[in-house]
Amino acid sequence: DGGITQSPKYLFRKEGQNVTLSCEQNLNHDAMYWYRQDPGQGLRLIYYSQIVNDFQKGDIAEGYSVSREKKESFPLTVTSAQKNPTAFYLCASRAWDPDTQYFGPGTRLTVL
């Protein structure tokens, strides 16, 4: 199956811990994105990457970090500096013709 996978589906974190969310795609897309979704709000962009070994901050990057060492993989680390990390996290990759984004199933992070 082609697509985007995210793991884990549910993640629980204690205060002060860093956690890493996995995102893998086999669509051969260059661009990948991380979004955060909170109830009643639109998707907010955390980080994005246009090519391997390059990434840019989105609108709410504080408290998050990413890496893009391989085209297929774009992991997101939620650090202890993120004050309100409980949310639904979505990873996406982008096709260009037509311009669409393919989303993974999401990871729901809860801080205990």
Partner 1 sequence: SQKIEQNSEALNIQEGKTATLTCNYTNYSPAYLQWYRQDPGRGPVFLLLIRENEKEKRKERLKVTFDTTLKQSLFHITASQPADSATYLCAFSGGYNKLIFGAGTRLAVHP
Task: By CB under 8 A, tell whether 34 contacts partner 1.
Answer: no
If the CB atoms of residues 16 and 96 are measured against partner 1, the closer one turns out to be: 96
Contacting residue, 19, 21, 25, 33, with partner 1 by CB under 8 A: 33
β-strand pairing of 44-49 with 56-57: antiparallel
Contacting residue, 66, 92, 109, 111, with partner 1 by CB under 8 A: 92
Task: By CB under 8 A, tell whether 42 contacts partner 1.
Answer: yes
State the minimum distance, in angstroms, from the CB of residue 80 to partner 1.
26
Task: By CB under 8 A, tell whether 98 contacts partner 1.
Answer: yes
Q: Which of 109, 38, 35, 25 is nearest to 72 (CA)?
A: 25
Contacting residue, 17, 26, 56, 110, with partner 1 by CB under 8 A: 56
Say how far apart CA 37 and CA 39 lie, in whole Å: 7
Task: Pick out residues in 68-87 that bind partner 1 (CB under 8 A).
Answer: none
